[in-house]
Structure 1
């Protein structure tokens, strides 16, 4: 039973933070106080607090305690290949995909350059906005090589393209390069997103490769500034070449 109490502590405080009972910046009770409240050891308390920190609920400051973070922004992974459908399921918020365009067209000069191919090569052009809790806060514009991604339909693009690629076409998606920038909102952004008075968006450009290194997808994922924080996990590797420098 004791082994699971840290999970109870985690759930108690995660629920309070998500419901707003604990506001951003609030300080959690000390480890000693939590240990007394839950009748557990400080080591078990630390497990619960570490889980809260790992999932973006709190920030632990050495010597000062644990403080509630602003969870109003959704975490968008910088590394890793996660589809929107997978991300939406993780954040647990009401969402839907609105498909504006799914058509097969010649790549043209600009997209051919991004996909390192010929301008006359056919690509799927897919334009979708992502609505979360009633607001369109992401605009995705995707280009996929049509001779690799066959049989794409509006129904598929309204659900999950990656699920279709992996489960129906049995393609093995391997890795991607991402470039993130803040840019002035375009006319398309204004039309397909609920930007309000915002004049800029965060743009994540992605170049996605198959297992055999084929570049088959170029995407522009455009995000409302106030709704996302872009997260990464990095570990410093040991380096024994520095000596006494």
Structure 2
């Protein structure tokens, strides 16, 4: 299958980035030079550079050109297991901070209600937290909980930074995950703003549930949105470790 000229430019630059023959801060060729090299129009060269910028590989400086971004070392994240995200990051030595963004009652959502085993009349709250490492946003955590199980969630929710810590305060001690589902999406304008990323940076979405081991109660349904360019994902099951 023939590769169009814009894709050829993108692939060639990506090969240099992967091979590390280009270095962070290095200036890329101008639109005119790329157009001449690949025998394409200037708009084709511009579109290729715009795509690379939207993917987060390069950045523009007005009047000076485009440059290769500094890439941070990927954060290794184990996606399965019974340890909270906060504990995983602290154990790995990362400087994690969390911002509670909201605690709001949601309208009926069959996926959420079914996962929580909640009645149709149940009041379910969504607690959203933004995760940052070294002050850089890397993930959005959304926890859905049934008020029938946590009567004070409307009052306590806006202060929660770690759901596991909150559960432990209420006497729950050991947790396990329900079925976990992974998918890929691209950020909405709201998610771009929160995660400081472009529209073409893929996001990894993890949907799972948290169960109290002792009582088998479903404590929450969780939806976590990760910036895919900030993590290296470990999907080894606990049994295989």
How far 1:154 sits from its partner (Å)? 4.6
Q: Quick one: distance in 2 between partners of 1:71 and 1:191?
A: 20
- TM-fit CA distance, 1:162: 0.8
Q: Structure 1 residue 148: deviation in Å?
A: 1.7
Within-5 A mapping of 1:57-96: 72-96=73-97
- Residue pair 1:200, 1:225 contacting (<8 A) in 2 also: yes
> What SS does the aligned partner of 1:120 have?
coil
How many Å apart are 1:193 and its aligned residue? 1.3
| Residues in 1 aligned to 2:198 and 2:106: alpha-carbon distance in whole angstroms | 32
Aligned length: 167
Q: Deviations over 1:190-243 (max 9, x none)?
A: 23212135342001111111223222311111000111111144567xxxxxxx
| Alpha-carbon distance between aligned partners in 2 of 1:191 and 1:197, rounded to the nearest angstrom | 10
Q: Does the C-alpha gap of structure 1 residues 134 and 76 become closer, same or farther in structure 2, counting only changes over 3 Å? A: same
Could you tell me how far 1:71 is from its partner in structure 2? 8.4
Q: CA deviation at 1:107?
A: 4.5
Residue deviations 1:7-30 (CA, integer Å, cap 9, x gap)? xxxxxxxxxxxxxxxxx99xxxxx
Q: Which has the higher contact order (CA 8 A, sep 6+)?
A: 2
Q: What SS does the aligned partner of 1:171 have?
A: coil
Misfit runs of 4+, over 6 Å: none
Name structure 2 gaps, 5 residues minimum: 1-18, 21-70
Give the TM-score of the pair, scaled to structure 1: 0.59
Corresponding residue to 1:194 among 193, 196, 199? 196
Report matched runs for 1:115-126 at 5 Å.
115-126=116-127
Secondary structure, counterpart of 1:190 in structure 2: helix
In structure 2, how many angstroms separate the alpha carbons of the residues matched to 1:156 and 1:86? 18
Cα deviations across residues 52-111 of structure 1 (Å, max 9, x unaligned)? xxxxxxxxxxxxxxxxxx981112112212212212212322221111102345544442
Q: Give unmatched runs, 5+ long, in structure 1.
A: 1-23, 26-69, 237-245
